[in-house]
Amino acid sequence: MSTGEILVRTFVYLLAGVIAVPLAKRLGLGSVLGYIIAGAVIGPGLLSLTGDVAAVSHVAEFGIVILLFLIGMEVRPALLWQMKGLIFGLGMAQMLAVSAVITPIAMMLGLSFAVSVTLSLILAMSSTALVMSTLEEKGQRSGTIGRACFGVLLFQDLSIIPLFLIVPLLASNASAAAAEGNPAAWLRGAEALLAVAFVVLAARFAVRPLFRFIAATHSREVFTAAALMLVVGVAALMTVVGLSPALGAFIAGVVLSETEFRQEIETDIDPFRGLLLGLFFITVGAGLDLELLRSQPFSVIAIAAGLMLAKTLAMYAASRAFRFHPIEAISLAVMLAQGGEFIFVFIGFAKQFALLPEQLSRLLPAAVAISMLLSPLLMLLLDRIIRRRTAPPQQAEPDLQFEDRIDVIVAGFGRFGQIAGRLLQANGQRISIMDTSLTQIEILRRFDQRVNFGDATRLDLLRAAGAETAKILIVAIDEREQISNLVETARMSFPHLMILSRAWDRRHAYELLRLGADHVESETYESSLSIGKEALIRLGFRAHRAHRSAALFRMHDRSLFGSSRPASADESGFLQASKAAASTLAQLLAADLEKERSHHGQEEDWGTRGLYGELTADKAAASGGGQT
């Protein structure tokens, strides 16, 4: 392919996405459907603008790898353990149930029992890319349904490993030529285990030093390159040993989820995921065998509909058995009803060993692609129906999250942020900490304090830290300009977020309020006041009086800060305002002091003796009240 051709093809793909996705979203169909339709339009069946779809789809499948890597990063090992019931229970139940329905049908079509079982297991798989993208778009990824879907999908991905090993064995059953596949399969199993062990160990021990080294150079694109390299490397290794690259990426992601670089890596890679997944759906659309659809529309659609019906029924039964509410069960069933992308791989594989009749190996991928096209439509339809049936939206249970929901983001965890953060933690608040100092992070790790490496002034990282759901952002970073930047960015992008900010001085405090901070705290104010109070005590003031003086000072100062907010943001406005404030404060404090002094004179009769006469209405008044 010449450079010109590559550019033209790239342009066509991008253009198709740019036109189709917004259109589909406007029609309420979701972006996945938009991509698939765009692919069908530019594909060989219609406009034939796509060039070599097979080559492109290899690139595009990498989108799924990145998707699983990112999902892995959000699933901490502890959470994975928590979800074991969903993964191995519900996941296995789904595959077995689907297999139980499809195997007899396949056998009726004349396939051998072993091939039928394998085929049914592969058809039981759903499209991770489609389901997870749709869930994310609907904001349901962390809800009950999202978690259950994810558990099932994860089990399906795990089951790819044994399936890959089984397929050559099936062939060996069929023909003696492949008899030596037996020891090879055994060897491959050992190889696969070694590779997984290698990924886990490398991610655990080699990756952190590497990223620390790169982060110290402060070069963002190298960081992105390294993150990408990591995912590509894992995928390559997995492919070499014959494992699902997506699964390998998922494992690497889980291992890396505990490092401080999680958010930064996630944020850097995320755009690739979005683009490549889009490309993937386009290739699914482009791969639609329109010729076949035209010549045998009935067979293709019958297989697609039959497959989806079988999967829906099986999944509904499985999730009801796992005590899901009927509405949840039907949502889950429809969600997972489409065929998965693994069928395309399997068909290629099966062709090699001549496992399937020619006719079926043409019909099946077309049917699965159709099911992927129909699936978003069905989900949409189901949403409408459920919404109409259950008038008040269900709030069955609190939203369980992939990662725990964050209450407060603490940006900057140095001398300032630490104290506030520790107070919040001590009171059971979940905080997400961001800092850019590697030495600081290293020290904190020794105290088992999880800190994410990342510059809070970057919008994407702020979002990754949980700014969309957190209630409060505490701005505790060092640099004056950076503080202003962060407050401004956060205010514009997250209107719901309460922003409490550290201020350099009074002028900075006014600036921050103007930029949208909800509360500002001059960074040295309280400690300075405290030391002044200490001095008063050491000069012989009674502790309570010194304390009260400091409190009065703070009270006057606070109210002056509010009332003498400068009209204009420029220098002169500020100077005027602060001069006026300073002189008023001096007057107020002097007046208080004056009153203190006059009390020493004891001139004033503040006792109640003089009042007795006034209170004639009540003769008993002589017994109490006031400072008797």
Partner 1 sequence: MQSSADHMISSPVAAPAEPTCLLVVAHPRLDRSVVNARLAKTAGERPEIEIHDLYEAYPDYQIDVAAEQERLLRHNVIGVQFPLFWYSVPALLKEWFDLVWLHRFAYGGNAPRLASKTLFCAASTGGDERSYREGGRNGYSVEEFLRPLERTAALCQMRWAAPHLLHDAPRLRGERLEQAAQGYGRYLENLMRETVI
Contact residues: partner 1, CB under 8 A: 545, 548, 551-552, 554-555, 591-592, 595-596, 599, 604-606, 608, 610-611, 614-615, 617-618, 620-621, 623-627
Q: At 289, which amino acid appears? A: D
> Closest CB to partner 1 among 295 and 587?
587
> Closest CB to partner 1 among 209 and 562?
562
CB of 621 to partner 1, least distance (A): 5
CB of 413 to partner 1, least distance (A): 26
- The answer to whether the beta carbons of residues 432 and 411 sit under 8 Å apart is no
- The answer to whether the beta carbons of residues 432 and 465 sit under 8 Å apart is yes
- The answer to whether the beta carbons of residues 147 and 322 sit under 8 Å apart is no
CB of 421 to partner 1, least distance (A): 21
Tokens 């959470």 -> residue = 79
Per DSSP, the three-state class of 411 is strand
> Closest CB to partner 1 among 23 and 531?
531
> Closest CB to partner 1 among 397 and 618?
618
CB of 589 to partner 1, least distance (A): 10
Q: DSSP H helical segments within 75-216, as ranges?
A: 77-82, 84, 91-108, 113-124, 128-138, 144-174, 181-205, 207-216
Helices 91-108 and 297-321 pack at an angle, to 10 degrees, of 140
Give the helix/strand (H/E) hosting 33.
helix 31-42
Q: Which whole-number Å values give the CA distances from 341 to 122, 160, 221, 390, 524, in the listed order?
A: 10, 12, 32, 34, 59
CB of 627 to partner 1, least distance (A): 8
- Within 10 Å of residue 560's Cβ, how many Cβ atoms? 18
**Of 148, 40, 127, nearest in space to 339 by CA:** 127
Q: In terms of DSSP bridges, do strands 472-475 and 498-503 run parallel, antiparallel, or are they unpaired?
A: parallel
CB of 544 to partner 1, least distance (A): 9
> Closest CB to partner 1 among 108 and 617?
617
Find the radius of gyration of the CA atoms of the chain.
33
Per DSSP, the three-state class of 434 is strand
Tokens 């107020």 -> residue = 588
Report angle CA 468, 469, 475 to the nearest 5 degrees. 70
> Closest CB to partner 1 among 81 and 606?
606
> Closest CB to partner 1 among 570 and 614?
614
Q: Report which DSSP code applies to 394.
A: P
CB of 333 to partner 1, least distance (A): 44
CB of 143 to partner 1, least distance (A): 30
CB of 475 to partner 1, least distance (A): 23
> Closest CB to partner 1 among 187 and 622?
622
Per DSSP, the three-state class of 408 is strand
Per DSSP, the three-state class of 502 is strand
User: Any residues with CB less than 8 A from the CB of 72 and at least 6 apart, and which?
Assistant: 249, 250, 251, 252, 253, 254, 256, 257
- The answer to whether the beta carbons of residues 474 and 417 sit under 8 Å apart is yes
> Closest CB to partner 1 among 216 and 593?
593
CB of 622 to partner 1, least distance (A): 10
Concatenated DSSP letters of 262-303: HHHHHHHHHHHHHHHHHHHHHHHHHT--HHHHHHSHHHHHHH
> Closest CB to partner 1 among 26 and 595?
595
Beta strands in 485-572 (DSSP E): 498-503, 519-522
> Closest CB to partner 1 among 522 and 608?
608
CB of 503 to partner 1, least distance (A): 21
- The answer to whether the beta carbons of residues 106 and 120 sit under 8 Å apart is yes
> Closest CB to partner 1 among 495 and 610?
610
**Of 198, 258, 256, nearest in space to 69 by CA:** 256
CB of 626 to partner 1, least distance (A): 5
